[in-house]
Structure 1
Amino acid sequence: MAQASKVVVVGGGIGGLTVALALKRGGVEVEVHEKYDHLQSRATGFTIWSYAIKHLLDLGVDPDTLARLGSAIEFTEIRSRHGRLIESLPVGEVSRRLGAPTYDIQRHGLQEALIEALGAEHVKMGSEVVGIEQDADSATVVLKDGSRASGDLVIGADGAHSTLRDLVAGRHLELHYSGFSGWGALIPFTHELLPAQHHVEIWEKGSKGGVADVGGGRARWYVMHRAPAGGTSVDKQEILAHIDGWYELLAAAVEQTPEDGIVRTEAWDLAPIDSWIDGRVVLLGDAAHATTPFAAMGACMAIEDADALGRLLLSQSYETAFPAFEKERKERAEAVVKHGRTMGRVSQLQSTVALWLRDEFLAHVPPPKLAEIAEEMASGR
């Protein structure tokens, strides 16, 4: 069968926009449907590792735009509750060897950059998909307003709470709550304890936090803590009480943040599903393999999925491209989900003795091994 000439993408997040960009650059007509009528306005950021940045650059995303939206990380520091340096990962050095920087970057800004590279006319905002129809020749999404959009294929990139996932699986699939909730914000912020191009992470008993330079006199901060699912309110004084006695850098960032600028999140993931494919429909990113933030790989994995799927669809029919994509990415993605769970436990240990042993072990890791650890993360291995 011939390669696809039109693809409908469900979800206007990082994964959906990246796969649309990859396909458009290969001459495929694309149409992205995003259920919200605006980009997420949450003032947050994330780490995009070197391997994922390289994919974006190869797809034509402007490097100057990335530099404007974020800060290339030179060092990621892990510190104890009181600020003692446990280890410092040479992220900048290894990223340069890999051929692209690793960034701490604005989430909202990266979406805007991808839309600019793709062309806003290809993105339909406020267009919620509620169903799928497919036959021997096409796949069609059914929209909430009753209208339809058809293409040769449909790609489901609609996030952790995916509508398409249940349709592909043929049953409702429950996400797994990690037991951890988070607070965070992206703010104008500089501090003597936060050198330029540094990401400082603080590990505490049963909790962790961090502050990272995002460039342009801005920083992002976050705190993860144990909490029941379903909370919605944000109390700045509660956050300050939780981190009382921690490294003063984090408290300074929280103090400087207006309460209504703080975002509350929850860490959920997904057990492996049998298949990401149903006929002419395929899932990618969190829709296929939602992961917690503890491995710092969620957005990167979506970008890598998008690059792989785009490359395969541009070279062969979907009947061979979809299984090849699943074979290439499924085992790796599920390993990252599992690794995220492990990192959640390691970085937020409950035992005081285990905490001390972990920190002492990490503090004595030799520099070559630190470089190896940094390279594993930056390369996505």
Structure 2
Amino acid sequence: MGENLRVAVIGGGTGGLCLAHGLAAAGMEVAVYERSRTRTERLQGYRLHINPHGSAALHECLPAPAWERFLATRGKGTGDFAFVTEQLRELAVIDEETGADPAAAHHSVSRISLHQVLSTGLDGILWYDKEFVRYETGPKGVTCFFADGTTAEADLVVGADGANSRVRAQLLPHAGRVDTGITAIVGKYPLTAETRGLVPARLTAGPNFVLPPRGRAMFTAPHEFAGAEVNDETAAVDPVLFDNTGSYVTWAYGASARRLPAGLAELDGAGLRAVVLDQIRGWHPGLSRLVELSPEGTVSRLPIKTSVPVEPWETGPVTLLGDAVHSMTPFRGIGANTALRDAQLLCRNLIGASDGSAAVADYEHRMREYGFQAVRASARSAEDFVTENRFARAMSRSMFAVVGSVPALKRRMFAEHGES
């Protein structure tokens, strides 16, 4: 691999598209192959937290117009982050410190809006309806094979095809993912003039980590959309799932399998919503109202899995990025940000590299270190989220109460929120 690398990115998700923008801006030859037939085929409508790592990567890799569009479509602010009991008694409220530089700040974004921003400006680079099947390496590079019978040649293939990566399955067949035994049920409560007053102000003021005595927990986070209408396809698809102009509160209820009824996989949104309502009976009525009034089409089940750290592998013309190599639980909100960090690092290494193999080797070494550190931290947070240890949960609640009364600790906690 030399200076004029041809790069093929498998997967048009957050990390892969960010990488493509950065490489294209530097004049490198890059193509992205996405299995979806269109941008709107797979609807992902929940809030995403972008931390300073993610912000820095987007600022560096995106062209100026795309960066400005990202800023225009973000939420109004992440809001104060609170740790509360199941009765919404505040244990600690961490004041937001946004800072003057948006490239080093926290942002609330709609996944739909972010994907739209990342998908624009890639004409001739982003190809849809390209389901990757396998690759073959040879003396002249790598050949990618797709389900439609076509092929693509590249000097470097970047597997950015998510947690169920086919690229990883071929490159590192021993690298697996394990079930944590935790299931989350997630939903979205639309915020309108009518619905805003039906839930406590705390639920619309900022993100909340709800800590009941033990065995389960809940997370809520508002996305207050700034109002810029950037999505011209909403009317063509389901407006409940694909609306990126309306504000909402995302919520997620998580528990271990032993606390949840059997057969969740067979339930539709209405059934899953009923399960959560039964599970949180006796909690603050505002939380029940949040769940009860969420459209059933927005409620879904999310089995929580995590990757297992793998030993270093021999660098070659195929590498991995994001969830394809270090998928993690969602309990620290760092998965997408770590993928963006990957994209930024790999982009930096490849641009102007006289030795592409050395550039990829350095990327893989550093990515494994911070990526699997994030995996371990996320797994610990998942365990804490559903701990059955009543004493441990009581200690956590007491700790947050102490943090809430000490400004220096509060500032430090917010600074580390969403970080690996």
The alignment's TM-score, normalised by the length of structure 2, stands at: 0.83
Residue 210 of structure 1 deviates from its aligned partner by: 2.1
Q: Deviations over 1:80-133 (max 9, x none)?
A: 11111122223x3165578533122211221111011x4244222221111011
Residue equivalent to 2:361: 323
Matched, 1:223 2:253: yes
Matched, 1:84 2:124: no
1:230 and 1:288 map into 2 onto residues whose CA distance is 28
In structure 1, stretches of 5+ residues that fail to align are: none
Distance change >3 Å, CA 28–CA 248, structure 1 → 2 = farther
Contact 1:15/1:299 (8 A) holds in 2:
yes
Contact 2:189/2:295 (8 A) holds in 1:
no
2:108 and 2:256 map into 1 onto residues whose CA distance is 25
Residue equivalent to 1:123: 126
Q: Summarize the alignment of residues 231-246 of structure 1 with structure 2, pairs less than 5 Å apart.
A: 231-234=265-268, 235=271, 236-246=273-283
For 2:83, the aligned partner's letter is I
2:35 and 2:305 map into 1 onto residues whose CA distance is 21
Name the one with the larger strand percent: 1
Residue 22 of structure 1 deviates from its aligned partner by: 1.2
Matched, 1:101 2:105: yes
2:156 and 2:402 map into 1 onto residues whose CA distance is 52
Residue equivalent to 2:292: 255
Residue equivalent to 2:381: 343
Deviates more, 1:270-279 or 1:80-89: 270-279
- Provide the aligned length of Structure 1 versus Structure 2: 377
SS at match of 1:93: coil
Contact 2:309/2:372 (8 A) holds in 1:
yes
Residue equivalent to 1:12: 12
Residue equivalent to 1:176: 178
SS at match of 1:257: coil
For 2:154, the aligned partner's letter is G
Contact 2:74/2:107 (8 A) holds in 1:
no
For 1:19, the aligned partner's letter is L
Residue 263 of structure 1 deviates from its aligned partner by: 2.2
Q: Deviations over 1:35-90 (max 9, x none)?
A: 12234213222211122112212323333434424342131111111111122223
Q: Deviations over 1:116-155 (max 9, x none)?
A: 1x42442222211110112233212110122101122110
Matched, 1:210 2:219: yes
Residue 197 of structure 1 deviates from its aligned partner by: 5.6
1:341 and 1:97 map into 2 onto residues whose CA distance is 31
Residue 348 of structure 1 deviates from its aligned partner by: 2.3
Q: Percent identity?
A: 24
Distance change >3 Å, CA 269–CA 172, structure 1 → 2 = same
For 1:173, the aligned partner's letter is A
Distance change >3 Å, CA 138–CA 371, structure 1 → 2 = same
- Superposed CA RMSD: 2.3
Contact 1:194/1:212 (8 A) holds in 2:
no
2:84 and 2:50 map into 1 onto residues whose CA distance is 21
Distance change >3 Å, CA 98–CA 126, structure 1 → 2 = closer
SS at match of 2:27: coil
In structure 2, stretches of 5+ residues that fail to align are: 226-246
Residue equivalent to 2:232: none
Residue equivalent to 1:52: 54
Residue equivalent to 2:229: none
Q: Deviations over 1:247-293 (max 9, x none)?
A: 33432221221212212212111111234665211101011111111
For 2:7, the aligned partner's letter is V
Deviates more, 1:143-152 or 1:62-71: 62-71
Matched, 1:199 2:207: yes
The alignment's TM-score, normalised by the length of structure 1, stands at: 0.91
SS at match of 2:181: strand
Residue 363 of structure 1 deviates from its aligned partner by: 0.8
1:229 and 1:183 map into 2 onto residues whose CA distance is 13
Residue 212 of structure 1 deviates from its aligned partner by: 1.3
For 1:291, the aligned partner's letter is M
SS at match of 2:207: strand
For 1:329, the aligned partner's letter is M
Q: Deviations over 1:289-314 (max 9, x none)?
A: 11111121100000000000011000
Q: Summarize the alignment of residues 104-183 of structure 1 with structure 2, pairs less than 5 Å apart.
A: 104-116=108-120, 118-169=121-172, 171-183=173-185
Distance change >3 Å, CA 101–CA 256, structure 1 → 2 = farther
For residue 284 of structure 1, the aligned residue among 309, 321, 332 is 321
For 1:262, the aligned partner's letter is V
Residue equivalent to 1:31: 31
Distance change >3 Å, CA 36–CA 125, structure 1 → 2 = same
SS at match of 2:365: helix
